[in-house]
């Protein structure tokens, strides 16, 4: 794998598209300063994913885009493409050639591509990281990179090695996993808390859900029973309604028939009344015609009488020969006529008065007849109105009584409901009071139980605290025991001497008389080991032997094997002379330990103790102290401070004389000041401090702590062994205490759990009782409320009943009054008939009177003027008898005319009389017809009244039927509304699904009941509907539901949701734990992988560094060291460099060139230890002289064998070894241009 080509477009100073083609080997890029050589390195860094503008020698990322010059405008984007030859498959991608492209737009947008396909920056970084090209770009050594290596701390140097070894991606993976772990821990704790909280909530909610589930089953059974009873009620009501509708339809048909008959009767009555009214004018016209014809007959008769009179008058005239009448006769006749006229006028006046009376009488009779007819009509109308009023009152009384009966029934029902509710309220209240007393007892017991539980919890807390303390004590003791065991083993290992002492101990089986190390045989009082080691001196590491011969054999063996030297302590040695006993004074002679003359040679190390313990040489009774004062040689009976050293050592009896001889005159004190004071007061004594400083009158030895002596080590071993035994006993005791504490904690926990369970049981009991109390209180309140509502409804029904009864009384009273009123008989028409007859007679009399008046008027008219005529005739007779013949002729003519008139009048009279007879017949026929119609009218009115009474009865029956039907419809509507509102069943499906014709499915099992497995078992089979059985089922389910107590209707949904959430959270918790374990495993694997890879990379790099450094610095030494070798995951890497001729190893003390070359050595070592496909070096040799440059070039040539090198340089010698040269120049336009030259 190697870089094949680099194409730049608009990147920094490369405004135009520029392509650099690379070959394996060394490629040098040269050019003057500022021409853009380093921009090639920046392009390589940028295209491989660098996102720090500072690393690209810019202030912001947009600075990589060509900014323009005076001659060229700025560009809008920068694009760099790097083509890599992947024919060896080093990159994990299935392409022999890979082109990585990065594009940057001036608006801040960026784009990455691999072989033209858009990708992410992470994809490019991971692709390159797998081939040894890390994210931190260690393969590109740019300007200032050496300084970063030089100034890096140990962890920074470690990062360079990790980058080359490809560890960084593993470390990034670990950091990502750790970040996930940190983020997950809070979620885990939160989910754990939520899961625990949900688990605590699930148990009580599960009980509520079980109750709710049982309640749902009971409610379903209760609902089924209610629906079936409702459906049965509905079917019955509908059947009754159908029967009622049929009866009502029949009644309505009868009522309609009665109405039709009544209508026909009323129509006939109206028709008869119309005919009666129509016959009355006819009768009147007939009467008027008869009257007028009668008057005409009278006038005709008068005419006949007048004509007869004229004929008679003409016939009574004297014969022709007679002269006229005598004037006197005529005057007498005139007088007679005047008298007759007066009589006629009197008769006319009397007739006129009679006519007036007759007319008045006739008018009075007609008025009385009209009044009577109106009275008859009013009476008939009053009778009809009374009958209608009575029927209406009867209907109102019946309706009011029905309402009163309904109100009374409602009152009875509400009273029964009120009494039942009051009984239930009293019963619930009694149960409530009983349970309240029980709750009070439970509260009292619960307080004691709570106190016991609190005490038990307190004891459990103390037990847990004690157990924790015991565990901590056991852990601490075990740790201390382990530490002491390790210290004991280490100290015991320190007793294994490899000098002469070790050889003698190893040859114990071949040497006779060797007892062993004196340190093992002697026991030092604890706390004085260091002081006694100083007091013994070399003897502290001595080997105890039995005889001087044994000592001599041991010395010969050491000389023979050239094993070094050893100190020997002889057992069985004679006691020391009592010159200065441990508790005595000084001797008199200046002799040695054994009385021999004192050797004046300087004391050896072995003899130092004897010399120190001996009194000052030449000191007798007259010896002086430090200041020349006489020394007190009296026996010391008590020391002001300290102890004699010999008193602090115990051991075998045969060894103690030698010990006492060695320690004679040596006193152990606490401090150096005490030692100084002791020696000042007793110069013949030697003082040893607890810290091992020895002070005598003529010799002192001390200072800072040195290597421990064998005696001190042995004492430490003994002390460690003793402490180890104590700790073992202590661990056993603590283990027993821990077991006891654990048992006590278990007992306390069991007691707490037992008391907790008892409290929970008591709480459950209290909860159940409280629920029952709540239920009873609710029942009591509900029953009381129901009683109050029933009482209020009963009061309203009583008001309705009172109103209905009052209305019944009022209507009954009105009906009684109406019925008690005298019943009007059918109106008597005799008076009307009599008045009608009288009226007819009166009209007849009136007609006759009118005829009489007209007759008298005619006669008066006929007589009127006759007297005058006679007077005139008499006068004329007297005056003109001459005309008598003429008058007689005229009279004869008038007589003839009168006879003709009389004949015609008689014929007319005959016709008039015939007409009068006919008019009389017509009048009688009209009167008879009217009388018949009036009789028929009376009969029709009687029939109408009968039909009206029957219609009223039918109307009342229909009304009652309609009321009953309305009540049934209302009840049906109420049942349908109840089914829809309370049970949610449509009326159409109620009867269809739950009607009595449907089979009743088997009821759900009761609590604790087990259904038979056989589906054919009668318990599992549906049954026919029986209302009594369903009513018992309804009551049983209601009792079962009431026994459940308070039911949380949302418990099922809440429990299901909570259980689902708990399950979800539990799964999430398990997933989190599994993920956490996986992440921890990933972290562990990453740590193992990082440790393995880094360890190998470090070893290889350290090995290469020593070789590269020795080549760059011939005669010098350089190496890499770890700051914490025991922890390869966190250790840093430090550099020790010693150029030839110098003793300094720190980099900061080297010269600039040496430091640069050391940094180059480290980088090259990394390159050789973990080769990369290519390296880019930007003027790394600029500060080197020719010698060092040549050395670096040789190393570059070695790197060329395994890697491709691209070097930015100004050095000609570097250019000479290049396989290809690229020259970069910049003209006046500020744009970099490239020319190439292949050298090989």
Residue 416 lies in a domain: no
Determine the Cα–Cα distance for residues 985 and 1000; give it in Å rounded to an integer: 17
Determine the Cα–Cα distance for residues 856 and 851; give it in Å rounded to an integer: 8
pLDDT reported for residue 243 = 86
Residue 1220 lies in a domain: yes
pLDDT reported for residue 439 = 66
Q: Put the strands of the sheet holding 18-21 in their side by side order.
A: 18-21, 2-9, 77-85, 97-105, 110-114, 117-119
Q: Are 672 and 531 in contact (CB under 8 A)?
A: no
Of 1230, 1231, 140, 1211, give the one whose Cα is nearest residue 1221.
1211
- What average pLDDT values come out for the chain (1240 residues) when binned by 10 residues? 89 89 88 86 87 81 86 88 87 87 89 91 79 64 68 83 74 76 78 82 80 77 80 84 83 82 82 80 80 82 80 65 62 77 79 83 82 77 72 74 76 79 78 72 68 78 79 74 65 56 73 79 82 80 83 82 78 58 37 36 36 37 40 51 83 85 87 86 88 84 65 69 80 81 80 75 67 68 74 79 78 72 64 75 78 75 69 68 63 77 81 83 82 83 83 81 80 79 75 77 66 66 79 81 75 78 82 81 82 87 88 85 87 86 68 77 82 81 79 83 85 86 84 77
pLDDT reported for residue 78 = 93
Residue 411 lies in a domain: no
Tokens 């090695």 sit on residue: 161
Determine the Cα–Cα distance for residues 1159 and 1147; give it in Å rounded to an integer: 10
Determine the Cα–Cα distance for residues 974 and 47; give it in Å rounded to an integer: 85
Determine the Cα–Cα distance for residues 882 and 323; give it in Å rounded to an integer: 8
Helix (H) or strand (E) holding 1207: strand 1204-1208
Residue 477 lies in a domain: no
C-alpha distances in Å from residue 536, one per residue of 492, 592, 604 = 21, 18, 13
pLDDT reported for residue 103 = 93
C-alpha distances in Å from residue 1153, one per residue of 146, 547, 608, 796, 976 = 11, 70, 58, 118, 108
Looking at residue 537, the DSSP 8-state letter turns out to be G
Per-residue 3-state assignment (H helix, E strand, C coil) for 633-685: CCCCCCCCCCEEHHHHEECCCCCHHHHHHHCCCEEECCCHHHHHHHHHHCCCC
Question: What are the strands, taking DSSP E only, across 1060-1145?
Answer: 1117-1122, 1133-1138
Determine the Cα–Cα distance for residues 270 and 276; give it in Å rounded to an integer: 10
Determine the Cα–Cα distance for residues 464 and 292; give it in Å rounded to an integer: 148
Residue 777 lies in a domain: no
Q: Are 1137 and 1159 in contact (CB under 8 A)?
A: no
For 328-347, letters b (16+ CB in 10 Å) and e give: eebbebbeebbebbeebbeb
Determine the Cα–Cα distance for residues 488 and 742; give it in Å rounded to an integer: 32
> Of 710, 736, 765, which one is at a domain's C-terminal end?
710
pLDDT reported for residue 479 = 65
Residue 560 lies in a domain: yes
Residue 216 lies in a domain: no
Determine the Cα–Cα distance for residues 1004 and 86; give it in Å rounded to an integer: 77
Quick one: tokens of 9?
């477009």
- DSSP calls for 880-925: -GGGHHHHHHHHHHHHHHHHHHHHHHHHHHHHHHHHHHHHHHHHHH
User: Which neighbouring-strand residues pair with 117?
Assistant: 114
Residue 1025 lies in a domain: yes
Instruction: Identify the CATH number of the domain in which residue 529 sits.
Output: 3.30.70.1620
CB burial of residue 187 (10 Å; 0-12, 13-18, 19+)? middle
For 400-439, letters b (16+ CB in 10 Å) and e give: bbbbbebbbebbeebeebbeebbebbeebbebbeebeeeb
pLDDT reported for residue 575 = 62
Number of other CB atoms surrounding residue 1135 within 10 Å = 23
C-alpha distances in Å from residue 486, one per residue of 14, 432, 721 = 70, 75, 11
> Of 689, 710, 731, which one is at a domain's C-terminal end?
710
Range of the domain at 535: 498-596+605-710
CB burial of residue 664 (10 Å; 0-12, 13-18, 19+)? buried
Q: Are 1229 and 42 in contact (CB under 8 A)?
A: no
Q: Are 1165 and 1101 in contact (CB under 8 A)?
A: yes
Q: How many residues does the chain have?
A: 1240
CA-based diameter of the chain, in Å?
267
C-alpha distances in Å from residue 296, one per residue of 75, 300, 451, 914 = 149, 6, 142, 12
Could you report how far apart the first and last alpha carbons of the chain are, in Å? 20
pLDDT reported for residue 603 = 38
> Of 1007, 1032, 1057, which one is at a domain's C-terminal end?
1032
Torsion sign over Cα 407, 410, 416, 421: negative
Q: Are 730 and 477 in contact (CB under 8 A)?
A: yes
Of 987, 1228, 739, give the one whose Cα is nearest residue 233.
987
| Number of DSSP helices (H) and strands (E) in the chain, helices first | 23, 24
C-alpha distances in Å from residue 1117, one per residue of 152, 260, 727, 1109, 1136 = 21, 144, 50, 7, 8
Report how many domains make up the chain.
3
Report the SS3 class of residue 491.
helix
Quick one: tokens of 1062?
């708990």
Q: Are 1219 and 1237 in contact (CB under 8 A)?
A: no
Torsion sign over Cα 1005, 1009, 1012, 1017: negative
Instruction: Identify the CATH number of the domain in which residue 110 sits.
Output: 3.40.50.300
Determine the Cα–Cα distance for residues 643 and 648; give it in Å rounded to an integer: 8
pTM value?
0.37
Determine the Cα–Cα distance for residues 266 and 279; give it in Å rounded to an integer: 19
């Amino acid at each position: 794998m190697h870089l094949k080509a680099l194409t730049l477009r608009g990147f920094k100073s490369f405004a135009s598209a520029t392509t650099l083609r690379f070959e394996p080997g060394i490629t040098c890029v040269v050019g003057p300063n500022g021409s853009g050589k380093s921009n090639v390195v920046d392009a390589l860094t940028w295209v491989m994913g660098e996102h720090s503008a500072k690393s690209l020698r810019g202030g912001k990322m947009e600075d990589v885009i060509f900014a323009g010059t005076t001659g060229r405008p700025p560009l809008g984007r920068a694009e760099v493409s790097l083509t890599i030859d992947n024919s060896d498959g080093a990159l994990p991608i299935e392409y022999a050639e890979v082109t990585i492209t990065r594009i940057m737009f001036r608006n801040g947008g960026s784009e990455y591509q691999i072989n033209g396909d858009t990708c992410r920056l992470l994809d490019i970084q991971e692709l390159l990281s797998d081939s040894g090209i890390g994210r931190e770009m260690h393969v590109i050594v740019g300007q200032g990179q050496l300084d970063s290596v030089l100034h890096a701390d140990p962890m920074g140097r470690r990062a360079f090695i990790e980058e080359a070894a490809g560890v960084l991606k593993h470390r990034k993976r670990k950091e990502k996993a750790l970040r996930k772990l940190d983020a997950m821990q809070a979620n885990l704790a939160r989910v754990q808390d939520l899961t625990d909280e949900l688990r605590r909530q699930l148990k009580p909610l599960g009980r509520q859900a079980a109750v709710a589930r049982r309640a749902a089953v009971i409610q379903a059974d209760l609902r089924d029973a209610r629906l079936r009873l409702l459906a049965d009620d509905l079917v019955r009501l509908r059947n009754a309604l159908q029967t009622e509708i049929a009866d009502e339809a029949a009644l309505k048909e009868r009522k309609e028939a009665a109405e039709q008959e009544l209508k026909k009767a009323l129509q006939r009555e109206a028709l008869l009344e119309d005919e009666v009214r129509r016959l009355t004018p006819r009768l009147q016209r007939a009467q008027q015609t008869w009257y007028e014809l009668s008057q005409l007959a009278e006038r005709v008769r008068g005419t006949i009488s007048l004509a007869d009179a004229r004929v008679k008058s003409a016939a009574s005239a004297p014969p022709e020969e007679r002269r006229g009448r005598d004037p006197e006769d005529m005057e007498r006749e005139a007088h007679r006529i005047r008298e007759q006229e007066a009589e006629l006028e009197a008769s006319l006046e009397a007739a006129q008065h009679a006519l007036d009376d007759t007319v008045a009488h006739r008018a009075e009779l007609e008025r009385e007849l009209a009044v009577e007819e109106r009275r008859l009509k009013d009476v008939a109308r009053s009778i009809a109105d009374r009958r209608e009023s009575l029927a209406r009152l009867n209907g109102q009384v019946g309706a009011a009584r029905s309402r009163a009966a309904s109100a009374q029934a409602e009152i009875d029902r509400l009273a029964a409901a009120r009494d039942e509710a009051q009984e239930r309220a009293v019963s619930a209240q009694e149960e409530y009071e009983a349970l309240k007393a029980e709750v009070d007892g439970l509260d009292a017991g619960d307080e004691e139980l709570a106190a016991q539980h609190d005490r038990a919890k307190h004891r459990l807390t103390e037990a847990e605290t004690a157990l924790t303390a015991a565990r901590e004590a056991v852990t601490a003791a075990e740790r201390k025991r382990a530490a002491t065991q390790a210290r004991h083993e280490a100290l015991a290992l320190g007793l294994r001497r490899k000098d002469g002492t070790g050889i003698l101990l190893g040859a114990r089986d071949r040497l006779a008389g060797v007892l062993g190390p004196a340190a093992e045989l002697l026991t030092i009082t604890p706390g004085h080991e260091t002081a006694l080691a100083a007091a013994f001196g070399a003897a502290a590491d001595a080997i105890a032997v039995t005889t001087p011969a044994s000592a001599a054999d041991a010395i010969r063996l050491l000389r023979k094997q050239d094993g070094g030297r050893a100190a020997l302590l002889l057992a069985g040695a004679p006691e020391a002379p009592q010159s200065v006993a441990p508790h005595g004074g000084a001797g008199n002679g200046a002799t040695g330990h054994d009385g021999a003359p004192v050797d004046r040679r300087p004391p050896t190390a072995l003899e130092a103790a004897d010399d120190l313990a001996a009194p000052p040489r030449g000191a007798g009774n007259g010896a002086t102290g430090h200041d020349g004062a006489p020394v007190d040689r009296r026996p010391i009976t008590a020391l002001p401070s300290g102890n004699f050293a010999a008193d602090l050592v115990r051991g075998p009896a045969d060894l103690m004389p030698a010990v006492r001889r060695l320690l004679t005159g040596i006193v152990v004190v606490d401090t150096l000041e005490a030692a100084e004071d002791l020696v000042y007061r007793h110069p013949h004594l030697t003082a040893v401090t607890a810290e091992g400083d020895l002070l005598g009158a003529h010799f002192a030895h001390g200072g800072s702590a040195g290597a421990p002596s064998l005696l001190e080590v042995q004492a430490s071993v003994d002390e460690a062994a003793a402490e180890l035994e104590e700790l073992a006993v202590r661990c056993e005791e603590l283990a027993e205490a821990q077991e006891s504490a654990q048992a006590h904690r278990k007992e306390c926990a069991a007691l707490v759990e037992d008391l907790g369970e008892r409290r929970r049981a008591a709480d459950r009991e209290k909860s159940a009782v409280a629920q029952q109390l709540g239920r009873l209180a609710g029942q009591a309140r509900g029953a009381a409320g129901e009683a109050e509502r029933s009482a209020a409804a009963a009061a309203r029904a009583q008001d309705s009943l009172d109103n209905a009864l009052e209305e019944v009384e009022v209507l009954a009273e009105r009906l009684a009054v109406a019925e008690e009123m005298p019943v009007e008989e059918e109106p008597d028409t005799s008076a009307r008939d009599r008045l009608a007859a009288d009226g007819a007679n009166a009209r007849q009399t009136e007609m006759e009177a009118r005829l009489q008046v007209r007759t008298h008027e005619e006669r008066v008219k006929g007589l009127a003027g006759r007297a005058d005529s006679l007077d005139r005739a008499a006068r004329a007779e007297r005056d003109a008898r001459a005309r008598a013949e003429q008058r007689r002729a005229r009279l004869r003519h008038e007589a003839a005319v009168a006879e003709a008139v009389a004949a015609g009048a008689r014929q007319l009279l005959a016709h008039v009389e015939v007409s009068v007879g006919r008019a009389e017949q017509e009048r009688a026929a009209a009167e008879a017809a009217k009388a018949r119609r009036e009789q028929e009218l009376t009969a029709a009115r009687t029939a109408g009244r009968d039909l009206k009474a029957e219609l009223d009865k039918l109307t009342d029956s229909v009304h009652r039927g309609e009321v009953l039907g309305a009540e049934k419809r209302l009840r049906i509507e109420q049942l349908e509304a109840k089914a829809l509102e309370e049970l949610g069943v449509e009326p159409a499906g109620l009867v269809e699904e739950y009607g009595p014709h449907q089979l009743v499915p088997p009821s759900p099992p009761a609590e604790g009941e087990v259904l038979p497995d056989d589906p054919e078992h009668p318990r599992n089979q549906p049954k026919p509907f029986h209302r009594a059985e369903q009513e018992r089922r309804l009551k049983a389910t209601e009792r079962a539901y009431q026994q459940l107590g308070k039911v949380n209707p949302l418990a099922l949904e809440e429990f299901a949701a909570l259980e689902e959430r708990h399950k979800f959270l539990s799964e999430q918790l398990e997933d989190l734990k599994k993920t956490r374990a996986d992440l921890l495993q990933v972290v562990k694997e990453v740590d193992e992988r990082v440790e393995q890879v880094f360890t190998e990379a470090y070893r290889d790099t350290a090995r290469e560094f020593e070789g590269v450094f020795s080549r760059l610095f011939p005669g010098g030494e350089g190496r890499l060291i770890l700051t914490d070798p025991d922890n390869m995951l966190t250790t840093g890497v430090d550099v020790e460099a010693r150029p030839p001729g110098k003793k300094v190893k720190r980099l900061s003390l080297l010269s600039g060139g040496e430091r640069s070359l050391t940094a180059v050595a480290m980088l090259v070592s990394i390159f050789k230890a973990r080769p990369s496909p290519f390296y880019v070096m930007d003027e790394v040799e600029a500060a080197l002289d020719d010698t060092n440059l040549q050395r670096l070039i040789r190393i570059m040539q070695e790197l060329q064998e395994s890697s491709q090198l691209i070097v930015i340089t100004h050095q000609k010698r570097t250019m000479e070894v290049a396989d290809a040269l690229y020259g970069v120049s910049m003209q006046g336009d500020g744009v970099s241009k490239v020319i190439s030259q292949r050298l090989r």
